[in-house]
A and B are shown apart, each in its own frame.
Chain A
Amino acid sequence: MILQAQKFGKILSSRPAGREAGLVAKSYLLPADLAGEFVIDFEEVAVLSPSWLDEFIQEINNYRPGLKIKYINTANPSVNATIEMLKEIKG
Protein backbone atom coordinates (compact mmCIF):
# COMPACT_ATOMS: atom_id res chain seq x y z
CA MET A 1 0.00 0.00 0.00
CA ILE A 2 1.49 3.35 -1.08
CA LEU A 3 -0.09 6.55 0.19
CA GLN A 4 0.60 9.83 -1.65
CA ALA A 5 1.21 12.41 1.10
CA GLN A 6 0.86 15.32 -1.35
CA LYS A 7 -2.86 14.58 -1.53
CA PHE A 8 -3.11 16.10 1.96
CA GLY A 9 -1.46 19.32 0.79
CA LYS A 10 1.87 20.83 -0.17
CA ILE A 11 2.60 22.10 3.34
CA LEU A 12 2.03 19.49 6.03
CA SER A 13 2.73 21.36 9.21
CA SER A 14 0.41 21.14 12.18
CA ARG A 15 -0.79 18.58 14.70
CA PRO A 16 -4.51 18.98 13.94
CA ALA A 17 -3.83 18.64 10.20
CA GLY A 18 -1.72 15.53 10.78
CA ARG A 19 -4.36 13.99 13.02
CA GLU A 20 -7.12 14.77 10.53
CA ALA A 21 -5.08 13.27 7.69
CA GLY A 22 -4.54 10.12 9.77
CA LEU A 23 -8.27 9.83 10.53
CA VAL A 24 -9.16 10.34 6.87
CA ALA A 25 -6.58 7.75 5.83
CA LYS A 26 -8.05 5.23 8.29
CA SER A 27 -11.61 5.90 7.20
CA TYR A 28 -11.28 6.21 3.45
CA LEU A 29 -7.85 5.34 2.10
CA LEU A 30 -6.44 2.33 3.88
CA PRO A 31 -7.72 -1.14 3.05
CA ALA A 32 -9.43 -2.98 5.86
CA ASP A 33 -6.95 -5.84 5.55
CA LEU A 34 -3.88 -3.58 5.61
CA ALA A 35 -0.93 -5.54 6.97
CA GLY A 36 2.81 -5.83 6.53
CA GLU A 37 4.28 -2.72 4.95
CA PHE A 38 2.77 0.73 4.57
CA VAL A 39 4.60 3.19 2.32
CA ILE A 40 4.23 6.97 2.51
CA ASP A 41 5.34 8.74 -0.68
CA PHE A 42 6.45 12.36 -0.14
CA GLU A 43 6.85 13.27 -3.79
CA GLU A 44 5.69 16.86 -4.44
CA VAL A 45 5.38 17.65 -0.74
CA ALA A 46 6.98 21.08 -0.28
CA VAL A 47 7.12 21.30 3.51
CA LEU A 48 6.80 18.67 6.22
CA SER A 49 7.15 19.25 9.94
CA PRO A 50 7.48 16.78 12.85
CA SER A 51 4.16 17.65 14.44
CA TRP A 52 2.21 16.70 11.30
CA LEU A 53 4.05 13.41 10.76
CA ASP A 54 4.01 12.52 14.45
CA GLU A 55 0.23 12.85 14.62
CA PHE A 56 -0.30 11.07 11.33
CA ILE A 57 1.86 8.12 12.34
CA GLN A 58 0.17 7.88 15.74
CA GLU A 59 -3.19 7.50 14.03
CA ILE A 60 -1.84 4.82 11.70
CA ASN A 61 -0.15 2.99 14.57
CA ASN A 62 -3.34 3.06 16.60
CA TYR A 63 -5.21 1.63 13.62
CA ARG A 64 -2.69 -1.10 12.83
CA PRO A 65 -0.14 -1.60 15.60
CA GLY A 66 3.03 -3.24 14.35
CA LEU A 67 2.62 -2.07 10.77
CA LYS A 68 5.99 -1.45 9.11
CA ILE A 69 6.04 2.13 7.84
CA LYS A 70 8.41 3.07 5.04
CA TYR A 71 9.06 6.49 3.51
CA ILE A 72 9.94 7.17 -0.13
CA ASN A 73 10.84 10.30 -2.13
CA THR A 74 12.28 12.01 0.91
CA ALA A 75 14.80 14.29 -0.81
CA ASN A 76 13.03 17.50 0.24
CA PRO A 77 15.13 18.86 3.15
CA SER A 78 12.15 19.36 5.46
CA VAL A 79 10.88 15.84 4.76
CA ASN A 80 14.30 14.39 5.37
CA ALA A 81 14.91 16.41 8.56
CA THR A 82 11.47 15.54 9.94
CA ILE A 83 11.90 11.81 9.38
CA GLU A 84 15.38 11.90 10.91
CA MET A 85 14.08 13.82 13.91
CA LEU A 86 11.29 11.35 14.59
CA LYS A 87 13.65 8.39 14.17
CA GLU A 88 16.06 10.00 16.64
CA ILE A 89 13.33 10.55 19.19
CA LYS A 90 11.77 7.13 18.84
CA GLY A 91 15.17 5.46 18.94
Chain B
Amino acid sequence: MSVLPALDVGLALLVVGVAAWTIAARNLFASVVGYVAYGLLLALVWVRLYAPDVALTEAAVGGGVTGVLLVTAGKRLDALASAEVGVPPGRALKILAGALAALVAGALAWVVLTLPSPAPSLAPAAAEAAAGPGAGLGNPITAVLISYRSFDTMLEKVVLILAVLGVWSVGADAAWGAAPAPLRKVRPDGAMILLAQFLAPVGLLIGVHIFWVGADAPGGAFQGGALLAAMGMVAMMARLAEPPRIDSRKLRLALVAGPAVFLIVGVAGLALADNLFAYPQNFAKPLILFIEAFMVLSIAVALPMLVCGPPNGSPK
Protein backbone atom coordinates (compact mmCIF):
# COMPACT_ATOMS: atom_id res chain seq x y z
CA MET B 1 0.00 0.00 0.00
CA SER B 2 1.49 3.31 -1.03
CA VAL B 3 1.41 6.37 1.19
CA LEU B 4 -1.58 8.34 -0.14
CA PRO B 5 -4.22 5.56 -0.04
CA ALA B 6 -3.04 4.65 3.47
CA LEU B 7 -3.41 8.32 4.47
CA ASP B 8 -6.90 8.42 2.96
CA VAL B 9 -8.04 5.38 4.91
CA GLY B 10 -6.46 6.71 8.11
CA LEU B 11 -8.12 10.09 7.62
CA ALA B 12 -11.50 8.47 6.93
CA LEU B 13 -11.23 6.38 10.12
CA LEU B 14 -10.20 9.46 12.13
CA VAL B 15 -13.13 11.56 10.84
CA VAL B 16 -15.67 8.81 11.56
CA GLY B 17 -14.07 8.14 14.96
CA VAL B 18 -14.13 11.78 16.04
CA ALA B 19 -17.72 12.11 14.79
CA ALA B 20 -18.70 9.10 16.93
CA TRP B 21 -16.92 10.74 19.88
CA THR B 22 -18.89 13.99 19.55
CA ILE B 23 -22.10 11.94 19.76
CA ALA B 24 -20.91 9.66 22.57
CA ALA B 25 -19.01 12.21 24.75
CA ARG B 26 -20.40 12.58 28.26
CA ASN B 27 -20.63 16.35 28.47
CA LEU B 28 -21.38 19.18 26.08
CA PHE B 29 -17.95 20.83 26.27
CA ALA B 30 -16.09 17.63 25.35
CA SER B 31 -18.53 17.10 22.52
CA VAL B 32 -17.98 20.63 21.13
CA VAL B 33 -14.18 20.27 21.34
CA GLY B 34 -14.58 17.03 19.40
CA TYR B 35 -16.68 18.86 16.82
CA VAL B 36 -13.99 21.52 16.22
CA ALA B 37 -11.35 18.80 15.70
CA TYR B 38 -13.82 17.06 13.41
CA GLY B 39 -14.21 20.25 11.33
CA LEU B 40 -10.43 20.51 10.84
CA LEU B 41 -10.11 16.82 9.86
CA LEU B 42 -13.04 17.20 7.46
CA ALA B 43 -11.21 20.13 5.84
CA LEU B 44 -8.35 17.70 5.05
CA VAL B 45 -10.84 15.33 3.40
CA TRP B 46 -12.05 18.24 1.26
CA VAL B 47 -8.46 18.95 0.22
CA ARG B 48 -8.21 15.32 -0.95
CA LEU B 49 -11.38 15.88 -3.04
CA TYR B 50 -9.62 18.73 -4.89
CA ALA B 51 -11.82 21.27 -3.11
CA PRO B 52 -9.46 23.71 -1.31
CA ASP B 53 -12.12 26.45 -1.35
CA VAL B 54 -14.58 24.21 0.48
CA ALA B 55 -11.78 23.10 2.83
CA LEU B 56 -11.06 26.72 3.81
CA THR B 57 -14.76 27.39 4.42
CA GLU B 58 -15.25 24.17 6.41
CA ALA B 59 -12.21 24.87 8.61
CA ALA B 60 -13.20 28.51 9.26
CA VAL B 61 -17.01 28.32 9.48
CA GLY B 62 -17.91 24.64 9.95
CA GLY B 63 -15.25 23.97 12.58
CA GLY B 64 -14.06 27.26 14.06
CA VAL B 65 -16.96 29.69 14.22
CA THR B 66 -19.57 26.98 14.91
CA GLY B 67 -17.33 25.75 17.74
CA VAL B 68 -17.20 29.24 19.29
CA LEU B 69 -20.98 29.51 18.90
CA LEU B 70 -21.61 26.23 20.74
CA VAL B 71 -19.03 26.83 23.49
CA THR B 72 -20.49 30.28 24.15
CA ALA B 73 -24.02 28.85 24.12
CA GLY B 74 -23.00 26.11 26.58
CA LYS B 75 -21.54 28.66 29.00
CA ARG B 76 -24.62 30.89 28.78
CA LEU B 77 -26.83 27.86 29.39
CA ASP B 78 -24.81 26.97 32.52
CA ALA B 79 -25.12 30.57 33.75
CA LEU B 80 -28.91 30.25 33.60
CA ALA B 81 -28.57 27.70 36.43
CA SER B 82 -31.24 25.51 34.93
CA ALA B 83 -29.40 22.24 35.18
CA GLU B 84 -32.46 20.08 34.64
CA VAL B 85 -31.98 18.24 31.36
CA GLY B 86 -34.56 15.92 29.88
CA VAL B 87 -34.14 12.18 30.41
CA PRO B 88 -32.43 10.13 27.69
CA PRO B 89 -34.75 7.81 25.80
CA GLY B 90 -35.22 4.21 26.86
CA ARG B 91 -33.30 1.24 25.47
CA ALA B 92 -36.03 0.28 22.98
CA LEU B 93 -36.09 3.73 21.39
CA LYS B 94 -32.28 3.78 21.27
CA ILE B 95 -32.19 0.47 19.40
CA LEU B 96 -34.91 1.71 17.06
CA ALA B 97 -33.05 4.99 16.41
CA GLY B 98 -29.81 3.07 15.86
CA ALA B 99 -31.55 0.80 13.34
CA LEU B 100 -33.05 3.81 11.54
CA ALA B 101 -29.68 5.59 11.44
CA ALA B 102 -27.97 2.44 10.12
CA LEU B 103 -30.67 2.07 7.47
CA VAL B 104 -30.31 5.68 6.27
CA ALA B 105 -26.49 5.48 6.28
CA GLY B 106 -26.63 2.15 4.45
CA ALA B 107 -28.98 3.55 1.79
CA LEU B 108 -26.70 6.55 1.30
CA ALA B 109 -23.63 4.29 1.02
CA TRP B 110 -25.46 2.21 -1.59
CA VAL B 111 -26.24 5.39 -3.56
CA VAL B 112 -22.58 6.44 -3.33
CA LEU B 113 -21.43 3.06 -4.66
CA THR B 114 -23.93 3.06 -7.54
CA LEU B 115 -23.64 6.66 -8.76
CA PRO B 116 -24.19 6.90 -12.54
CA SER B 117 -21.21 6.78 -14.85
CA PRO B 118 -20.28 8.95 -16.67
CA ALA B 119 -21.21 11.46 -14.01
CA PRO B 120 -23.35 14.46 -14.99
CA SER B 121 -21.38 17.69 -14.87
CA LEU B 122 -21.92 21.42 -15.12
CA ALA B 123 -18.16 22.02 -15.38
CA PRO B 124 -18.29 23.11 -19.07
CA ALA B 125 -20.90 25.76 -18.24
CA ALA B 126 -18.80 26.93 -15.30
CA ALA B 127 -15.68 27.05 -17.50
CA GLU B 128 -17.63 29.24 -19.89
CA ALA B 129 -18.64 31.53 -17.01
CA ALA B 130 -15.04 31.75 -15.81
CA ALA B 131 -13.74 32.63 -19.26
CA GLY B 132 -16.70 34.62 -20.61
CA PRO B 133 -18.75 37.15 -18.63
CA GLY B 134 -16.51 36.47 -15.62
CA ALA B 135 -13.68 37.95 -17.73
CA GLY B 136 -10.69 35.88 -16.84
CA LEU B 137 -11.32 34.76 -13.29
CA GLY B 138 -8.74 32.08 -12.60
CA ASN B 139 -10.75 30.51 -9.78
CA PRO B 140 -13.78 28.70 -11.27
CA ILE B 141 -15.50 28.58 -7.85
CA THR B 142 -15.47 32.37 -7.59
CA ALA B 143 -16.74 32.57 -11.18
CA VAL B 144 -19.64 30.26 -10.28
CA LEU B 145 -20.45 32.13 -7.06
CA ILE B 146 -20.34 35.65 -8.47
CA SER B 147 -21.20 35.13 -12.13
CA TYR B 148 -22.81 31.80 -13.00
CA ARG B 149 -24.96 31.52 -9.86
CA SER B 150 -24.79 35.14 -8.75
CA PHE B 151 -28.45 35.38 -7.74
CA ASP B 152 -28.04 32.46 -5.28
CA THR B 153 -25.00 34.08 -3.72
CA MET B 154 -26.81 37.40 -3.33
CA LEU B 155 -29.81 35.69 -1.67
CA GLU B 156 -27.49 33.75 0.62
CA LYS B 157 -26.21 37.07 1.98
CA VAL B 158 -29.84 38.04 2.57
CA VAL B 159 -30.28 34.79 4.52
CA LEU B 160 -27.36 35.84 6.76
CA ILE B 161 -29.08 39.18 7.48
CA LEU B 162 -32.40 37.43 8.15
CA ALA B 163 -30.63 35.12 10.60
CA VAL B 164 -29.10 38.13 12.41
CA LEU B 165 -32.56 39.73 12.60
CA GLY B 166 -33.99 36.46 13.89
CA VAL B 167 -31.31 36.20 16.61
CA TRP B 168 -31.86 39.83 17.65
CA SER B 169 -35.63 39.46 17.83
CA VAL B 170 -35.34 36.56 20.28
CA GLY B 171 -34.05 38.97 22.97
CA ALA B 172 -36.25 40.54 25.63
CA ASP B 173 -38.39 43.50 24.46
CA ALA B 174 -36.82 45.86 26.98
CA ALA B 175 -33.30 45.17 25.69
CA TRP B 176 -33.98 46.14 22.05
CA GLY B 177 -31.24 48.44 20.77
CA ALA B 178 -28.73 47.46 23.44
CA ALA B 179 -25.50 45.55 22.83
CA PRO B 180 -25.36 41.73 23.05
CA ALA B 181 -23.72 40.24 26.14
CA PRO B 182 -19.90 40.09 25.98
CA LEU B 183 -18.47 36.79 24.72
CA ARG B 184 -17.02 36.02 28.13
CA LYS B 185 -17.99 37.31 31.53
CA VAL B 186 -14.80 37.29 33.52
CA ARG B 187 -11.73 39.34 32.66
CA PRO B 188 -9.43 37.10 30.60
CA ASP B 189 -5.92 36.36 31.76
CA GLY B 190 -2.76 37.82 30.23
CA ALA B 191 -2.13 34.92 27.87
CA MET B 192 -5.48 35.36 26.11
CA ILE B 193 -4.95 39.11 25.74
CA LEU B 194 -1.43 38.61 24.37
CA LEU B 195 -2.69 35.98 21.92
CA ALA B 196 -5.40 38.32 20.67
CA GLN B 197 -2.97 41.21 20.32
CA PHE B 198 -0.57 39.12 18.22
CA LEU B 199 -3.05 36.95 16.32
CA ALA B 200 -5.69 39.52 15.33
CA PRO B 201 -3.46 41.79 13.18
CA VAL B 202 -1.84 38.79 11.44
CA GLY B 203 -5.22 37.13 10.89
CA LEU B 204 -6.61 40.39 9.53
CA LEU B 205 -3.86 40.49 6.90
CA ILE B 206 -4.33 36.84 5.97
CA GLY B 207 -8.11 37.35 5.72
CA VAL B 208 -7.75 40.28 3.32
CA HIS B 209 -5.14 38.32 1.34
CA ILE B 210 -7.44 35.26 1.02
CA PHE B 211 -10.22 37.53 -0.28
CA TRP B 212 -7.85 39.27 -2.74
CA VAL B 213 -6.29 36.13 -4.25
CA GLY B 214 -9.76 34.47 -4.41
CA ALA B 215 -10.28 35.72 -7.98
CA ASP B 216 -7.50 33.46 -9.26
CA ALA B 217 -6.56 31.02 -6.47
CA PRO B 218 -8.39 29.14 -3.72
CA GLY B 219 -10.02 31.67 -1.42
CA GLY B 220 -12.63 34.37 -1.85
CA ALA B 221 -15.19 36.49 -0.07
CA PHE B 222 -16.61 33.73 2.16
CA GLN B 223 -13.29 32.44 3.41
CA GLY B 224 -11.69 35.89 3.86
CA GLY B 225 -14.80 37.26 5.56
CA ALA B 226 -14.99 34.28 7.91
CA LEU B 227 -11.34 34.77 8.90
CA LEU B 228 -11.91 38.48 9.59
CA ALA B 229 -14.97 37.51 11.65
CA ALA B 230 -12.89 35.03 13.64
CA MET B 231 -10.29 37.72 14.40
CA GLY B 232 -13.08 40.02 15.61
CA MET B 233 -14.27 37.25 17.92
CA VAL B 234 -10.76 36.62 19.25
CA ALA B 235 -10.58 40.34 20.17
CA MET B 236 -14.01 40.09 21.83
CA MET B 237 -13.00 37.00 23.79
CA ALA B 238 -9.95 38.86 25.12
CA ARG B 239 -12.33 41.76 25.95
CA LEU B 240 -10.18 44.06 23.80
CA ALA B 241 -13.39 44.83 21.90
CA GLU B 242 -17.03 44.63 22.96
CA PRO B 243 -20.03 43.72 20.81
CA PRO B 244 -21.56 46.90 19.33
CA ARG B 245 -25.06 48.14 20.16
CA ILE B 246 -27.51 46.66 17.68
CA ASP B 247 -29.11 50.05 16.95
CA SER B 248 -25.74 51.39 15.75
CA ARG B 249 -26.16 52.80 12.24
CA LYS B 250 -22.61 51.81 11.23
CA LEU B 251 -23.28 48.18 12.20
CA ARG B 252 -26.53 48.04 10.25
CA LEU B 253 -24.97 49.66 7.17
CA ALA B 254 -22.08 47.16 7.26
CA LEU B 255 -24.58 44.28 7.53
CA VAL B 256 -26.60 45.24 4.45
CA ALA B 257 -23.66 46.61 2.39
CA GLY B 258 -22.82 43.26 0.73
CA PRO B 259 -26.23 42.25 -0.63
CA ALA B 260 -27.16 45.90 -1.34
CA VAL B 261 -24.10 46.55 -3.54
CA PHE B 262 -24.56 43.14 -5.18
CA LEU B 263 -28.21 43.91 -5.94
CA ILE B 264 -27.48 47.41 -7.27
CA VAL B 265 -24.71 46.16 -9.58
CA GLY B 266 -26.93 43.23 -10.63
CA VAL B 267 -29.85 45.48 -11.57
CA ALA B 268 -27.46 47.91 -13.29
CA GLY B 269 -26.48 44.92 -15.46
CA LEU B 270 -29.94 45.21 -17.06
CA ALA B 271 -28.92 48.54 -18.58
CA LEU B 272 -25.20 48.00 -19.06
CA ALA B 273 -24.95 44.35 -20.10
CA ASP B 274 -28.48 43.51 -21.26
CA ASN B 275 -29.19 41.09 -18.46
CA LEU B 276 -29.95 40.94 -14.76
CA PHE B 277 -26.72 40.12 -12.86
CA ALA B 278 -24.62 40.31 -16.03
CA TYR B 279 -21.43 42.35 -16.05
CA PRO B 280 -20.11 44.54 -18.89
CA GLN B 281 -17.44 42.56 -20.79
CA ASN B 282 -14.35 44.69 -20.27
CA PHE B 283 -15.13 45.78 -16.76
CA ALA B 284 -16.23 42.51 -15.16
CA LYS B 285 -13.24 41.63 -13.00
CA PRO B 286 -12.89 44.98 -11.16
CA LEU B 287 -16.67 45.00 -10.71
CA ILE B 288 -16.63 41.49 -9.25
CA LEU B 289 -13.84 42.42 -6.82
CA PHE B 290 -15.82 45.54 -5.87
CA ILE B 291 -18.93 43.47 -5.04
CA GLU B 292 -16.82 40.91 -3.16
CA ALA B 293 -15.17 43.59 -1.01
CA PHE B 294 -18.57 44.62 0.38
CA MET B 295 -19.56 40.98 0.80
CA VAL B 296 -16.43 40.41 2.89
CA LEU B 297 -17.47 43.35 5.09
CA SER B 298 -21.01 41.99 5.56
CA ILE B 299 -19.81 38.45 6.33
CA ALA B 300 -17.12 39.73 8.73
CA VAL B 301 -19.83 41.65 10.65
CA ALA B 302 -22.71 39.15 10.40
CA LEU B 303 -20.86 36.07 11.73
CA PRO B 304 -19.71 37.65 15.06
CA MET B 305 -23.16 39.20 15.57
CA LEU B 306 -24.70 35.73 15.11
CA VAL B 307 -22.33 34.29 17.72
CA CYS B 308 -22.87 37.20 20.16
CA GLY B 309 -26.60 36.52 20.31
CA PRO B 310 -29.58 38.73 21.14
CA PRO B 311 -29.27 42.17 22.79
CA ASN B 312 -28.88 42.06 26.52
CA GLY B 313 -28.98 44.80 29.13
CA SER B 314 -30.57 48.19 29.28
CA PRO B 315 -31.12 50.36 26.20
CA LYS B 316 -30.12 54.00 26.42
Q: A and B from one assembly?
A: no
Interface, chain A (partner B; CB < 8 A): none
